[in-house]
Structure 1
Amino acid sequence: MTSRVTRSQTGRTPRKPENPGFVSTPVRKRSMSPVKRVQKMYDSDESDEKYGSTPTGHWHHNEAVADIFPPGINDRLTPIPSTPFDMKAAGSVEAVRSHSDDDIDHVDFGGTPGVVAMMIGFPLLMWYMWIGQEYYGGKFPTPEKGQSFADFAVHMFELVKQGAFPSVKAFTIYWVFFIVQTILYVVLPGVYAEGNAVPSLNGQRLTYFCNAYVTFWVSCAAAAGLHYFDIFPLQTIIENIGPITSVSIISGFVVSIVAYFSALARGAQHRMTGAFFYDFFMGAELNPRIGIIDMKMLFEVRLPWYFLFLTTASTAVKQYQVYGYVSPQVWFILLAHYLYANACSKGEECIITTWDMFYEKWGFMLIFWNMAGVPFTYYHCTLWLAKHDPAEYSWSTAYQTTLFVTLICAYYVWDTCNSQKNNFRKQQAGTFVDLKRFPALPWRYIENPKYIKCRNGGTLLTDGWYAWARKIHYTVDIIMALTWGFNTGFTSPFPYFFPVFFVCVNIHRATRDIQRCKAKYGEVLDVRDELVLVNTASLMARLRDQALAVAVGIDAADVSVSPVGGGSGFATTLKVQAGGQRFFVKTGHGPNASVMFQGEHASLNAINTVVPDLCPRAIAHGSLDADSFFLATEFLDLGGRGGGSLASKLGKLHSQSAPSDGRVVSKTSSRRSGSTPQDNTYENTWASFFINRRLLPILRACVESNGPQPELTNHVDRTLPVAQHLLDRLSTQAARPVVVHGDLWSGNQSSGSIPPRVIDPTPVIYDPSSCYAPAEYDHGIMTMFGGFDGDFWKEYEAVVPRGEPVTEYEDRVSLYRLYHTLNHYALFGGGYKNGAMNIMKTLLHKYDKV
């Protein structure tokens, strides 16, 4: 089997509707409780636009994303190759809707009192920590005995005025650096990349110019040149670090004020709450730009991280000037800051899809943090070393070596982990290019990565480092931060500001990311978790159960078992090998697993009977013990291109009439899909079954999952006569029952081989929820998420023409799609309700006389 794992192979699909005799896999429904702000953002994945208009044909054509490059500087452009793609497939955040719908009810940081406290308190904290480093030997400044707090505060102010007064020289250093970075942004070569769809621009994707990698090396070369020719001695930065700190604080406020009132003057504000201080803190404008310069991009990497690195380089130069050598501790922190600055630069185009760029506005929070917060609070590891004689921190060789090794190893994992994640997104989007920027580390991308393809079009990487942990990049990020502090010893608290702060930030990030992922992916998130946590040894012991060995015809003593990605609360997926034979096996617990595996076994074999090379054949299903069950199938090797077409093979499947009366595929009369009951009791007519066994039960499931739904209930009740009318009028030929897949979205079809029975790659389908039903029932889910283009439908309809009356075909497909949309609403909530409402409103408007 290839390394690419889709949800069809994981058993983890957000399960969709069933038909008479449906035998699809039950899936546990996940209740979602992310913060309101995050939930609203991800509800937009299923925007009304997807379902709002009456279809005028198969609406399965993927829209190409136009390559839009800004004018000018094309002579130095190195574009990232682009192909039409859906950013959701690349794992990015989507929220395509008007900014007027954005959530302004939710506030962060405790609202106005919290942000005012931060705007006052953080600059004071910066000065306080600088005073502790400069005048108190790295200790906390505290009042002397008998000194009142007021006198202590005055003393603190005098120390700032004495050692950190914002001099003209400091302003010159800081702002010349700022201006030079801005110029380099414009004049140096770089690449263009598209960001996420921007809500305030009605889903438009902005194009970003990225040249931080070149800028960083040019900045380093320029600093070295200026120092060498004594134009600007590099030690000047650390010698004036107090005044420059004050300049950064003042500049952060000034730029924030200009940015805020400029946005108001131009009418560029978004998501305003009306609370002045809160809006000022969060910002007014989302995407401030001057020509090709995106202000958030300019401030994100260049200002904070380059200045931090140059500050540490300045310390190394100063130490060499004073002591005649650079201590291992300064070399260590210089390496640490170089690695971070360089990594942020070489991956700049990946920043454009982050939360800061996509959602946060350009306000005091981002401006001050990048202009002052990062470079002048993260520098305390450097500042402590600069203010002390190297003899005070001459650690043992073993200790220092351990720190270097830990830093380098953690950096390797961090760099390659983030590279794997970002390159995976590009691979999925069709834009991957190995730029080989220094250091181009081994394992920075994965060929044919394993992943789970989700119902909403997104993908979850389950390969590389992400086969071992969900947030491993945060873990090693924290380890690197801790080494920065450990490098200075344990006599001062200030070098630990960054590590402690960063631990808190990454814990917050991880919590936030989990909430967003749950909102976006739902239960599929657990698939990856189980893949990470799978214990192969214990599974091998279970799979050596005699029942399984006998069922698949292998020697229990010779079996080899390995996970192939995924699983769920009820199923784990495995590759079982013995004696040259390979099998795909799902195992699960409880009665739902038994019913699920029995149904999937029958579904696969029903399809296989009609078109033998269209899907894997089910080998066996049964019990491993009193509460454990399994399903074994032929092993499907996905990948490659071969003969035949999916359209012709599916047409053949849909042309073969069902045996006998076409009651059910399996003998199971009642099943469950997730928490949605699936009643497969036979009905005499297709209309009766669809109404009584699908629409009405799924409406009840929606109410059970989401609470009372008076509007939805009313519309479903009004739609029932329309369904009766449309399906009763379906011609006898079109209504005849055939084997349908039942769950044939684009993620459940591919190309592959089923050795040794099918050697050459051929179009295949998998993960069925089959039943006997009219062929066009499959069209509902097939047109819901795209993936089947016009050529496919043309070839398919040459074999299976649209049913009579043809003029009502699109409306019948909308009716089938309504069921799937309601099922998604029952499972996931959110925007699927709007999609269902729009389908019903369209049908009711057209058939108002029924």
Structure 2
Amino acid sequence: MTEVRVAVVVVVAFVGLLFVASRVVPGPVEQGAEGAGGVRARYRLNGLRLFLAAALAAAAAWIRFPTALTYPARHAGELFVAANAFAFVLATVLHVYGRRRHPGARGAGPLRGLVDYIRGVELNPQWWGVDLKMFSYRPSLIGLFLINVSFLATQYLDQGSVTARMALYQAFFFLYIANYFQFEGGMLHTWDILAERFGWMLVWGDYVLVPFFYSLPGRTLTGMREPLPPGSAVACTALFLGGFWLFRGANEQKHRFRRGRLRSVWGRPVETVGGSLLVSGFWGVGRKLNYTGEFLLYVSWTALCGTESVVPYTVLLFLAMLFAHRAHRDDRRCRAKYGPLWEEYCRRARFRMIPFLY
């Protein structure tokens, strides 16, 4: 029980420190998408600075106190319990305050209260000027990064060296998370920020699912000593670079188009459907190739685990179902929003995630 209490303090302190830093650390300010009444919220995009500060802190700890970095790996159970407790408390507070602020949002039916708790009451709740939904990506992904670093430190201290598998895994994940924060402004126009209410589902996903479940490949690699064949290293690196090109390229094209800064794609003038739907570049090939690219990134570093355990591959199974479900849901939402324009777009971009297959 004492270890769980310490873990609760660690989780609360970690999230609290990032929350305060999100308020005080300078960063570029960008307007979000137009909301109710034509209002555009303003966001301070200092996530990259916070991530780099966390990376520097981890590097300093590696030099002076390497055993401190092993805490997440050696106390994962206690941290998992603490993160769950934190997520449920936060979701409950959001639910209670949301109901008080928006009493008319209460629906009918015996299970409506539970549905509101799970899905959320408010779209973009703010505390002290910080959008909680946008903020929660920071402890989520920075927490994932620190847990991964903990696996690196644990392997080094226990075995006296770091394997090629672990080194590639760390490099891939570092670039992935750093790139997310580098293009943090793109999140302002995603489905989660624009349309998902902030309740238990997103809270638990941010504070528990992402840091503890998505890090399973790193946990598997901690105890692996099997050498990585050069061919496998080249294949995983090529898969990562290809997925990165597809994931970042598709998202960058969409982001620039929505901000009116896209004039040409791949050497050709931009084509649209009705001026609203981009049908050039990646978006003329498939409607959700950004999901495909992100999935390939996860395949690239999960494949480093080889065949020693099936556990890390549960992440890929979950993501395959998640992305397929989200692609279907996005299609349904866009069909309702754009009507005939979406039908025309689907005729131009016939595939969702996998050309010629899906």
Cα drift, residue 507 of structure 1: 0.6
Structure 1's consecutive aligned runs of 4 or more residues displaced over 6 angstroms after TM superposition are 445-448
Match of 1:355, as an amino acid?
W
Alignment pair present for 1:256 and 2:91: yes
Aligned counterparts, 1:209-358, within 5 A:
209-230=44-65, 233-267=68-102, 270=105, 272-273=107-108, 275-299=112-136, 301-358=137-194
The separation in 2 between residues aligned to 1:362 and 1:518, in whole angstroms, is 24
Alignment pair present for 1:450 and 2:267: no
- The 1:166–1:364 alpha-carbon spacing in structure 2 relative to 1, beyond 3 Å, is farther
Cα drift, residue 530 of structure 1: 4.9
Once the two structures are superposed, residues 415-473 of structure 1 have per-residue CA deviations (whole angstroms, 9 ceiling, x without a partner) of: 12211111121125x9x9xxxxxxxxxx9x7687412241xxx5222222223333221
The separation in 2 between residues aligned to 1:482 and 1:269, in whole angstroms, is 45
Cα drift, residue 268 of structure 1: 6.5
Aligned counterparts, 1:765-844, within 5 A:
none
Match of 2:129, as an amino acid?
I
Aligned counterparts, 1:59-74, within 5 A:
none
Answer yes or no: is the 8 Å Cα contact 2:99–2:106 preserved in 1.
no
Alignment pair present for 1:464 and 2:281: yes
Answer yes or no: is the 8 Å Cα contact 1:272–1:284 preserved in 2.
no
Q: Which of 254, 273, 277 in structure 2 is aligned with 1:421?
A: 254
Aligned counterparts, 1:441-590, within 5 A:
449-454=269-274, 458-531=275-348
State the partner residue of 1:562.
none
State the partner residue of 1:714.
none
Alignment size in residue pairs:
348
The separation in 1 between residues aligned to 2:332 and 2:157, in whole angstroms, is 51
State the partner residue of 2:5.
168
Answer yes or no: is the 8 Å Cα contact 1:378–1:498 preserved in 2.
yes
Once the two structures are superposed, residues 584-604 of structure 1 have per-residue CA deviations (whole angstroms, 9 ceiling, x without a partner) of: xxxxxxxxxxxxxxxxxxxxx
Answer yes or no: is the 8 Å Cα contact 1:208–1:292 preserved in 2.
no
State the partner residue of 1:825.
none
Cα drift, residue 490 of structure 1: 2.6
Once the two structures are superposed, residues 295-319 of structure 1 have per-residue CA deviations (whole angstroms, 9 ceiling, x without a partner) of: 11111x2111111111111111221
The separation in 1 between residues aligned to 2:119 and 2:203, in whole angstroms, is 10
- The 1:530–1:502 alpha-carbon spacing in structure 2 relative to 1, beyond 3 Å, is same
The separation in 2 between residues aligned to 1:244 and 1:449, in whole angstroms, is 51
The separation in 1 between residues aligned to 2:154 and 2:339, in whole angstroms, is 54
Match of 1:252, as an amino acid?
A
State the partner residue of 2:355.
none
Match of 2:235, as an amino acid?
T
Cα drift, residue 529 of structure 1: 4.8
Aligned counterparts, 1:159-198, within 5 A:
167-198=4-35
Alignment pair present for 1:403 and 2:197: no
The separation in 2 between residues aligned to 1:207 and 1:270, in whole angstroms, is 25
Once the two structures are superposed, residues 500-556 of structure 1 have per-residue CA deviations (whole angstroms, 9 ceiling, x without a partner) of: 1111111112112222232233343454455557xxxxxxxxxxxxxxxxxxxxxxx
> SS at the partner of 1:494?
coil
The separation in 2 between residues aligned to 1:269 and 1:362, in whole angstroms, is 17
Match of 1:258, as an amino acid?
V
Once the two structures are superposed, residues 96-136 of structure 1 have per-residue CA deviations (whole angstroms, 9 ceiling, x without a partner) of: xxxxxxxxxxxxxxxxxxxxxxxxxxxxxxxxxxxxxxxxx
Match of 1:209, as an amino acid?
R
The separation in 1 between residues aligned to 2:309 and 2:186, in whole angstroms, is 36
Alignment pair present for 1:370 and 2:203: no
The separation in 2 between residues aligned to 1:453 and 1:263, in whole angstroms, is 38
Answer yes or no: is the 8 Å Cα contact 2:245–2:293 preserved in 1.
no
- The 1:207–1:271 alpha-carbon spacing in structure 2 relative to 1, beyond 3 Å, is farther
Match of 2:125, as an amino acid?
P
Answer yes or no: is the 8 Å Cα contact 2:21–2:50 preserved in 1.
yes
Answer yes or no: is the 8 Å Cα contact 1:378–1:497 preserved in 2.
no
Cα drift, residue 197 of structure 1: 3.2
List alignment gaps of at least 5 residues for structure 1: 1-160, 433-442, 534-850
* More helix as a share of residues: 2
Larger Rg: 1
Aligned counterparts, 1:550-699, within 5 A:
none
The separation in 1 between residues aligned to 2:347 and 2:20, in whole angstroms, is 49
List alignment gaps of at least 5 residues for structure 2: 351-358
Answer yes or no: is the 8 Å Cα contact 1:268–1:284 preserved in 2.
no
Cα drift, residue 189 of structure 1: 1.9
- The 1:322–1:513 alpha-carbon spacing in structure 2 relative to 1, beyond 3 Å, is same
The separation in 1 between residues aligned to 2:241 and 2:80, in whole angstroms, is 30
Give the stretch that moved more between structures: 220-229 or 360-369: 220-229
The separation in 2 between residues aligned to 1:167 and 1:207, in whole angstroms, is 37
Cα drift, residue 323 of structure 1: 2.1
The two structures have a TM-score, normalised by structure 2, of: 0.88
The two structures have a TM-score, normalised by structure 1, of: 0.39
The separation in 2 between residues aligned to 1:210 and 1:526, in whole angstroms, is 36
Answer yes or no: is the 8 Å Cα contact 1:474–1:506 preserved in 2.
yes
State the partner residue of 1:204.
39
> SS at the partner of 1:427?
coil
% same residue = 25
Answer yes or no: is the 8 Å Cα contact 2:145–2:174 preserved in 1.
yes
The separation in 1 between residues aligned to 2:104 and 2:267, in whole angstroms, is 43
Match of 1:304, as an amino acid?
S
Cα drift, residue 191 of structure 1: 2.2
Match of 2:257, as an amino acid?
F
- The 1:321–1:461 alpha-carbon spacing in structure 2 relative to 1, beyond 3 Å, is same
The separation in 1 between residues aligned to 2:325 and 2:160, in whole angstroms, is 43
Match of 2:209, as an amino acid?
G
Aligned counterparts, 1:78-89, within 5 A:
none
The separation in 2 between residues aligned to 1:360 and 1:207, in whole angstroms, is 18
The separation in 1 between residues aligned to 2:345 and 2:113, in whole angstroms, is 43
Cα drift, residue 337 of structure 1: 2.0
> SS at the partner of 2:189?
coil
> SS at the partner of 1:352?
helix
Instruction: Answer 1 or 2: higher relative contact order, Cα 8 Å, separation at least 6.
Output: 1
Answer yes or no: is the 8 Å Cα contact 1:414–1:473 preserved in 2.
yes
Cα drift, residue 353 of structure 1: 2.2
Cα drift, residue 183 of structure 1: 1.8
